[in-house]
C-alpha cells in the first residue's frame, strides 16, 4: 500500500506552521536522524572550514553531526519553534560544546529573510522541512541569496511511503499524516518537485545533482519502535489536533482504529515500511 501525493498547493503564501508540534513522540523520530542516515549524499562535498545553515533543524541531531565534518567552520541550526531549539541546545552536552565550539542554534522563521549577508554561506541544508512550507520557492531564493558563488543548497525531503502488510488503520493513518501540513504546503510528493522549485528559485539545472534516498523500518525491533513512535503521537497532541483543529479524522474512534492498525503492523513478523526521499544538491 502506498500514500498518494496530494495535488500541488498554490504555494503563494509565505507563512507556515508545523502541524505536528514538538511533543516527545514527534521529537523522538526527528532525533533518530543523523548525518549518516539523512545527509550521506552531502558529506563527500563538505570542507573543514565551511559555514553550514540547517533550516528547520528540529532537535538538531543532524546539525550536530555536521560538526565533525566541518571542524574549523561554523554550523548553525535554525528552527521556528523555541521549544525545539531549547531541546537542541540541551542535547548539546558540555563535552559536545567543548568539542564543537562553532555549533549554534537559533530561533528563526525560514520563510522570512535569513539573518545572513549575501554570499556569506557555503551550505544551506534542509531535512524534512520543505514539505511543511507553503512557499518553498521563496525559501530556496533566500538560500540562493545567502550562498557564496559555488555554495550548495542540499535538501532531503520525503516524497512517499510504502508498507507491508497493510490494514485499514495503518492506511488511514499514513493517508491522514500526508495531509497534516499547513495549507498550501506540498506534503507528500515534495521529493519529486525539489529540482523544479530550485530552478524557479534561480538555480541552474546544469549545476544540480538530482537523486533519491530511502529509510526502512522492518520487523521485529524497528517496526515495533516506528509503530510506537506514531502511536504515541496519536495518543498525544497530534491525535487531539487531528480531531479538534485539523478535522483530519471524524472522531476518537478513527484515532483508536489507527492506533490498533499501527500496533498490529508493528507486531507483524513481516512488517516493512519504507520512505522514498528526494535528495538534491544545487550549486550556485
Ligand atoms: C519534520 S521537522 C524536521 C526536523 C529536522 N530537520 C529533521 O530532519 O529531523 C520540521 C521542522 O521544521 C520546522 N519549521 C517548520 N516551518 C518553519 C519555519 N517557517 N521556519 C523555521 N522552522 C520551521 C519545524 O518547527 C520542525 O522542527
Which whole number is the average pLDDT over 159-187?
94
DSSP 128: S
Task: Give distance in angstroms: CA of 111 to centre of ligand 1.
Answer: 11
Share of the chain above pLDDT 90, in %: 76
Q: Which of 2-11, 192-201, 236-245 has the highest mean pLDDT?
A: 192-201
Residue 13 lies in a domain: no
Is residue 15 in a domain? no
Assigned C-alpha cell, 24: 516527545
- Triad 229, 156, 242: Cα angle to 5°: 40
As beta bridge partners, residue 121 has 147
For helices 24-31 and 82-91, angle between their N-to-C axes, nearest 10 degrees? 50
> Grid cell 493513518 — which residue?
173
Q: Is the pLDDT of residue 15 over 70?
A: no
Percent of the residues in the chain that have a pLDDT greater than 70, as a whole number: 90
Q: Can you give the pLDDT at residue 153?
A: 99
Band (247; pLDDT cuts 50, 70, 90): confident
Pairing relationship of beta strands 103-107 and 147-164 according to DSSP bridges: unpaired
Classify residue 140: in a domain, yes or no.
yes
Average pLDDT over residues 27-46: 89
CA-to-CA separations, 38 to 61, 146, 248, 276, in angstroms, rounded:
10, 23, 29, 12
pLDDT (average), residues 53-70: 96
**Residue 6's pLDDT band (cuts 50, 70, 90):** very low
Supply the pLDDT for residue 179. Answer: 85
Containing structural domain, residue 212: 24-283
pLDDT of residue 91 exceeding 90, the answer is no
> Ligand 1 pocket: which of 21, 32, 79 to mutate (most atoms <8 Å of CB)?
79
Condensed to tens digits (0 to 9), the pLDDT of residues 210-219 reads 999 999 999 9
CATH of the domain at 220: 3.40.50.150
With respect to residue 19, please indicate whether it lies within any of the assigned structural domains: no
Q: Is 253 domain-assigned?
A: yes
Count of structural domains, the chain = 1
Q: Tell me: the pLDDT tens digits for 128-145?
A: 999 999 999 999 999 999
- The band of 17, judged by pLDDT with boundaries at 50, 70 and 90, is low
Output the average pLDDT for the chain: 90
12 within a domain of the structure (yes/no): no
Residue 147 pairs with which residues in a beta bridge? 121
Torsion sign (Cα): 13, 14, 20, 23: negative
Angstrom distance (rounded) from CA 244 to CA 235: 13
- Band (pLDDT 50/70/90 cuts) for residue 178 is confident
Q: Could you tell me the distance, in angstroms and rounded to a whole number, from the CA of residue 109 to the centre of ligand 1?
A: 10
**Cα dist from 130 to 116, 118, 182, 228, 253, whole Å:** 20, 21, 11, 25, 32
The mean pLDDT of 275-279, rounded to a whole number, is: 98
Q: Which three cell numbers stand for residue 67?
A: 560538526
Confidence of residue 221 (pLDDT cuts 50, 70, 90): very high
Give the binding-site residues of ligand 1, using a 6 Å CB cut-off: 16, 18, 30, 33, 56-58, 62, 79-81, 84, 109-111, 127-129, 132-133
**For residue 84, what pLDDT band results from cuts at 50, 70 and 90?**
very high
CA distance 169 to 268: 14
Ligand 1 pocket, mutate which of 16, 18, 61 (most atoms under 8 A from CB): 18
What is the CA(84)–ligand 1 centre distance, in A? 9
How much is the pLDDT for 5?
36
pLDDT per residue over 111-133, tens digit each?
Answer: 999 999 999 999 999 999 999 99
Confidence at 8, pLDDT banded by 50, 70, 90: very low
pLDDT at residue 37 in the model: 94
Please give the pLDDT value at position 77.
98
Residue 18 in domain: no
Q: Is residue 2 part of a domain?
A: no
Amino acid at each position: 500500500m502506498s500514500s498518494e501525493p496530494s495535488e500541488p498547493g498554490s504555494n503563494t503564501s509565505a507563512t507556515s506552521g508545523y502541524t505536528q508540534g514538538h511533543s516527545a513522540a514527534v521529537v523522538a523520530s526527528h532525533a533518530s536522524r543523523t548525518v549518516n542516515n539523512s545527509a550521506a549524499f552531502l558529506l563527500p562535498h563538505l570542507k573543514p572550514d565551511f559555514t553550514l545553515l540547517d533550516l528547520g533543524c528540529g532537535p538538531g541531531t543532524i546539525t550536530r553531526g555536521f560538526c565533525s565534518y566541518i571542524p574549523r567552520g561554523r554550523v548553525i541550526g535554525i528552527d521556528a519553534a523555541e521549544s525545539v531549539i531549547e531541546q537542541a541546545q540541551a542535547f548539546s552536552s558540555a563535552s559536545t560544546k567543548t568539542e564543537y565550539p562553532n555549533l549554534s542554534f537559533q530561533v528563526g522563521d525560514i520563510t522570512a529573510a535569513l539573518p545572513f549577508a549575501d554570499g556569506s554561506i557555503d551550505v544551506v541544508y534542509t531535512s524534512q522541512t520543505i514539505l511543511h512550507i507553503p512557499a518553498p520557492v521563496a525559501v530556496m531564493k533566500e538560500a540562493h541569496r545567502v550562498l557564496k558563488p559555488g555554495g550548495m543548497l542540499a535538501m532531503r525531503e520525503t516524497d512517499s511511503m510504502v508498507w507491508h502488510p497493510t490494514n485499514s488503520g495503518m492506511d488511514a493513518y499514513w493517508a491522514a499524516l500526508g495531509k497534516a501540513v499547513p495549507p498550501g504546503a506540498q506534503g507528500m510528493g515534495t521529493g519529486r518537485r525539489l529540482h523544479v522549485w530550485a530552478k524557479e528559485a534561480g538555480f541552474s539545472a546544469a549545476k544540480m545533482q538530482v537523486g533519491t534516498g530511502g529509510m526502512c523500518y522492518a520487523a521485529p525491533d524497528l517496526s515495533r519502535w516506528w509503530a510506537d513512535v506514531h502511536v504515541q503521537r496519536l495518543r498525544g497532541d497530534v491525535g487531539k489536533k487531528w480531531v479538534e483543529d485539523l478535522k483530519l479524522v471524524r472522531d476518537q474512534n478513527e484515532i483508536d482504529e489507527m492506533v490498533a492498525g499501527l500496533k498490529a503492523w508493528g507486531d507483524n513478523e513481516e512488517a516493512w515500511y519504507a520512505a522514498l526521499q528526494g535528495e538534491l544538491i544545487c550549486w550556485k
